[in-house]
Structure 1
Amino acid sequence: MKSYLAAAVQMTSVTDLHKNLAQAEELIELAVRRGAELVGLPENFSFLGDEAAKMAQAEQIARESEKFLRVMAQRFQVSILGGGFPMPVGNGKVYNTALLIDANGQEQARYEKVHLFDVNLPDGNTYQESGTVMAGIRMPPVYASQHLGNLGLSVCYDVRFPELYRHLSRMGADVLFVPAAFTAYTGKDHWQVLLQARAIENTCYIIAPAQVGKHNSIRQSHGHAMIVDPWGVILADAGDTPGVAIAAIEPSRLEQVRRQMPCLQHRVFV
């Protein structure tokens, strides 16, 4: 693992696939111009809005999203995580799929979100992700990269389930991806503290791309795409507008924190 710059992209995705991909391309290019070698896109980067419209276009969204990730990775010679897009299952539902593509355009890791956001929030909004999405049945993978370190995958609501990240750290993860479309209501209280907790307890870097702003008349995302270091320090925060959060992933910092706070070695219950 070497030192490198990573980018967490922040988008305002809508129900227009090609508009979303154009926005993503612009932000990937911005990240690359600033030196990023690893770029993360948020959950629902290619489509966010009406569920019926998503399901009607699911095959096209899946096909074009995957092609887009491969083309962008090859064009800019970087590794890219597509943080979540619908992949048809064949039973009228989709998997919420995160896909990691290397600089050669080759798939290196795929994860189907296991924790689905079925929640009635106090602000009156109800979310029923399981209405259209089938939960994955496999624990998320860790991709071992010689240059980028061991990269662990997750998606959004997963961040509330620490046992998933403990699994990733046990599998050797150095960097944890948490691409999200966190609601504005929950994000203001929970987003930052959850990311910091997952970083601290696993002594890992966190790369958390995010959705931001209004996607339609009822859905609004918190934003604040972040990169957090293994001590829980926020290295970069994209704020509340589309953009990128960029910071260095430093193996020496990872080693320092794990030496000073060797909690992974002190686990009793594994």
Structure 2
Amino acid sequence: MYTQRFLTLKSFLSTSRIYYSRKMSKCTIGVGQMTSTNNKEENLNVVKRLVQEAADKKAKMIFLPEACDYLATHREEAKTLAEQLNGPLIKEYLNLAKTFKMWLSIGGFHEIVKDKNDTVKLNNCHIIINDQGNIVSVYRKLHLFDVSIPERNINLKESDDVVPGKEIVEPVQTPCGLVGLAICYDLRFPELSVLLRKKGASILTFPSAFTQLTGQAHWEVLLRARAIENQCYVIAAAQYGNHNKKRVSFGQTMVVDPWGKVIGELKTYSENVPKDEELLMVDIDLGLIDKIRMDMPVLEHRRDDIYKIIQLEKGLISPDSQESFSFAQKTILSSQAFLCTQHSFAFTNIRCVVPGHVLVASKRIAKRLEDLSADEISDLFQTVVKVQRVMETVHGANSSTICVQDGKCAGQTVPHVHVHILPRKSGDFDRNDDIYQELANHDRDDSIIRPPEEMVEEATLLRKYFYLK
């Protein structure tokens, strides 16, 4: 039987230094560099060759640069060449992934859309495709490059035709770890990278088409800074060379490790070197990330008492809100909650079966799952997965028991839909399934009631993993 049913505050704070325990595993990836033009067929052939080469070299995933679909010569051509996400070019990419059993990062795809005035616009999309040939994530570029330096022949105003994205996308679980998605100019806004790290990212990606001028000045230093401050690998697939008479890209595709060391890079553009495609092969070592973060836990050292930068996602409220939550006839104070979404909230538990046992409940009082709408159910379980990931990270666990007691006969003692999340470790119970008996009995065991101040302290620590402050 597991004897320590809940953590003291001291032991909880100690376990917060333990990050998700992984074996010292490595994953081989490919990172492509190319010179896109307005010839989509030619660009696709380059992508095919890069994917083929990466597959031959046993890569699990390949990262391609921004605008790997095309770089147009003028604005109207850009709109003419754009497609929807179910168009023929995306289907080619999906087929490539499936054929070569390769995950693809399509670093910048021009998605055609219409604004509220029915005007044709574009989204600059970073798309992740799994090895089964399915799109698993789409990020639309948040920060648009509007820069004019006439004396350097730079006049780019992305916002003329591109619609800015509206949300930060959750990091994507891939064979090489949790990948946080960004595009090119996003590199200059460190808040985005910090938020992705707080959401669990092990890798930050910046597929780019940096100009020659800005690339020479800032490319490497920015990539290394993002890696160091967030203790993440940074992968930056780059466009290279002359795309047309008006556009030149810097190149220097690069991978930086979480200590800030450049572990692989390709050439920068030179007028004496013709356009070329190249593939960089590197190994991502997840164990190195864990070691660096344990040795120097910078995320825990942020001065929340001095400065705050709070992310307000769709459906997400500030952790400083004075709002309280109804849990059947009980009241959960905002100080004991650590995450609130549009339809759900997560909070610390007064009786814990194992360390890190927390609850996620629907915001609207509903007795059974069947009483929730489809949107509420979707939000509830997406929140559960998000919380599960963090609880395993905090408690050094590699598994979780997720349980819903849906109705009185199933053991539900609080008539309000809620999900139990219990981080699991090898040997935490003599018999693995004993946890269900403990869960059934724990609400009647007053000896394990936790003091309110301990629950508040735990919620305060957990909140740091969901909100940038």
**Does the alignment reach a TM-score above 0.5?**
yes
What's the Cα RMSD here? 1.5
- Following superposition, the deviation at residue 5 of structure 1 comes to 0.8
Q: What's the TM-score once normalised by structure 2's chain length? A: 0.56
Q: Deviation digits for residues 141-187 of structure 1, max 9, x if unmatched?
A: 31124x42111100000000000001100100001111001111100
Match in the other structure for 1:126: 155
What amino acid sits opposite 1:222 in the alignment?
F
- Following superposition, the deviation at residue 65 of structure 1 comes to 3.0
Match in the other structure for 1:32: 55
SS, match of residue 88 in structure 1: strand
- Following superposition, the deviation at residue 57 of structure 1 comes to 2.1
Match in the other structure for 1:137: 166
Match in the other structure for 1:268: 303
Give me the whole-angstrom Cα distance separating, in 2, the residues matched to 1:37 and 1:90: 36
Give me the whole-angstrom Cα distance separating, in 1, the residues matched to 2:100 and 2:89: 16
SS, match of residue 36 in structure 1: coil
Match in the other structure for 2:447: none
SS, match of residue 210 in structure 1: coil
- Deviating 4+ runs (over 3 angstroms): none
Match in the other structure for 2:386: none
Residue number among 85, 88, 99 corresponding to 1:64 in the alignment: 88
Matches within 5 A, 1:1-270: 2-50=25-73, 51-59=75-83, 63-91=87-115, 92-121=120-149, 123-145=152-174, 147-240=175-268, 241-269=276-304, 270=469
Q: Quick check: 2:224–2:261 contact (8 Å CA) kept in 1?
A: yes
Structure 1: state its 5+ residue gaps.
none
1:36–1:227 distance in 2 versus 1, CA, 3 Å: same
Give me the whole-angstrom Cα distance separating, in 2, the residues matched to 1:189 and 1:33: 35
Give me the whole-angstrom Cα distance separating, in 2, the residues matched to 1:59 and 1:242: 24
Q: Quick check: 2:94–2:129 contact (8 Å CA) kept in 1?
A: yes
Give me the whole-angstrom Cα distance separating, in 2, the residues matched to 1:65 and 1:164: 29
Structure 2: state its 5+ residue gaps.
1-21, 269-275, 305-468
Which deviates further from its counterpart, 46-55 or 174-183? Answer: 46-55
Larger % of strand: which?
A: 1
Give me the whole-angstrom Cα distance separating, in 2, the residues matched to 1:182 and 1:55: 21
- Following superposition, the deviation at residue 238 of structure 1 comes to 1.5
Q: Quick check: 2:142–2:164 contact (8 Å CA) kept in 1?
A: yes
Q: Deviation digits for residues 239-266 of structure 1, max 9, x if unmatched?
A: 1342012211001111121122221221
Give me the whole-angstrom Cα distance separating, in 2, the residues matched to 1:195 and 1:179: 11
Give me the whole-angstrom Cα distance separating, in 1, the residues matched to 2:279 and 2:86: 24
Report how many residues are paired. 269
- Following superposition, the deviation at residue 125 of structure 1 comes to 1.3
SS, match of residue 99 in structure 2: helix
SS, match of residue 114 in structure 1: coil
Q: Quick check: 2:69–2:110 contact (8 Å CA) kept in 1?
A: no
SS, match of residue 60 in structure 2: strand
- Following superposition, the deviation at residue 60 of structure 1 comes to 7.0
1:256–1:70 distance in 2 versus 1, CA, 3 Å: same
Q: Deviation digits for residues 204-254 of structure 1, max 9, x if unmatched?
A: 001111100000001000001111100011111011342012211001111
Match in the other structure for 2:6: none
Q: What's the TM-score once normalised by structure 1's chain length? A: 0.95
Which structure has the higher relative contact order (CA within 8 Å, separation 6+)? Answer: 1
- Following superposition, the deviation at residue 61 of structure 1 comes to 8.9
Give me the whole-angstrom Cα distance separating, in 2, the residues matched to 1:62 and 1:13: 21
Q: Deviation digits for residues 98-120 of structure 1, max 9, x if unmatched?
A: 10000001111110001000001
SS, match of residue 167 in structure 1: helix
Give me the whole-angstrom Cα distance separating, in 1, the residues matched to 2:169 and 2:267: 28
What amino acid sits opposite 1:83 in the alignment?
G
Q: Quick check: 2:183–2:205 contact (8 Å CA) kept in 1?
A: yes
Give me the whole-angstrom Cα distance separating, in 2, the residues matched to 1:112 and 1:181: 16
Identity of aligned residues (%): 35
Give me the whole-angstrom Cα distance separating, in 2, the residues matched to 1:124 and 1:13: 20
1:141–1:97 distance in 2 versus 1, CA, 3 Å: same
Q: Quick check: 2:84–2:112 contact (8 Å CA) kept in 1?
A: no
Which deviates further from its counterpart, 246-255 or 258-267? Answer: 258-267
